Amino acid sequence: MSTRFNILNYVIKGIDMTYKTEKFFLSSTTNNPTAQIVSTSWIELTGSRCNITLKQNTINLLYKYSFYTYNKYVNSSNYEKTFIHVKLQKSNDDFSSNIVDLPGCQFNFSGDTEQNDDFFYKSCSPFFIVENLDSSYLRLVTRSYSTSNEVQIHRSNHWNSGGGADVYYNPNLLVAEL
């Protein structure tokens, strides 16, 4: 489900002219997402890709996204320890061949990796402001630090005192021109 709108109006009063300039806005939710397993190769976070209408050569943009993580279950005596890298990328061809990392739009996300069993269930909310964006596409990608730090995204196998429920968290995206 997504909402996208632009507003463009202008008013002419005599020789004076007033413009309301267009501002891009997008909000979307990915319903019932399939679980993503994050390993040591970069993957795109489901629902994080967007197509931005550029009415000027460059714009300043707010990019907000939220997703859920939990440490990957291997077996009852072996849980991975959450530790992932996350970064924002831009593209002018929908990530076909032009893929550029946005400097500083990146972070690490982990529980306490010093512990043998770090049961880490948490949502994460990237909040980036991109200045002078000159490309029409953005997305988030992630990878784990090592094969011992793999993570399951969007779904949890624990809920309401049970172990079998497959509960999901819809990732949400909001992109707004500033």
Partner 1 sequence: MSYFNQSAFKAPKFLVTTHTSAQLTTSTPNSYETIVGSEISYIPFLNSNKVVYEISFYSQKTQNGGVLFQVLDLEESTDGGSSWSIVNDKFKKNYGNSGPASQKNRYYLHYRYVLPAWSGEKHLRLRTATHNDNVNRSVELHQLTEWNGTSATDQFCNTNLLIYSI
What does the binding site for partner 1 look like in residue numbers (CB under 8 A)? 7, 9, 16-23, 25, 40, 60, 62, 83, 85-86, 103-115, 124-129, 131, 143, 145-146, 176-178
Nearer to partner 1 by Cβ, of 13 and 166: the residue is 13
Which residue number, 30 or 59, has a Cβ lying nearer to partner 1? 59
Pick the closer one to partner 1 by CB: 40 or 98.
40
Cα–Cα distance, 46 to 125 (Å, whole number) = 14
* Burial call 146-165: b when 16+ CB within 10 Å, e when fewer: eeebbbbbbbbeeeeeeeee
Least distance from partner 1 to the Cβ atom of residue 106, Å: 6
DSSP string, 91-107: ESSTTSS--EEEEEEEE
Provide, rounded to whole angstroms, the least separation between the CB of residue 10 and partner 1: 10
Cβ of residue 54: shortest distance to partner 1, in angstroms? Answer: 15
Tokens of 21: 């300039």
Q: How far apart are the first and last CA of the chain?
A: 23
- Contacts of residue 172, defined as CB under 8 A and 6 or more positions apart, other chains included, come to 27, 28, 29, 47, 64, 65, 66
Asked if 120 and 72 count as a contact pair (C-beta separation under 8 A), the reply is no
Q: How far is the CB of 164 from partner 1 (least distance, A)?
A: 28
Return the number of the residue (18 or 96) whose C-beta is nearest partner 1.
18
- Residue closer to partner 1, measured from CB, 73 or 145: 145
Query: Nearest distance from residue 11's CB to partner 1, in Å?
Result: 10
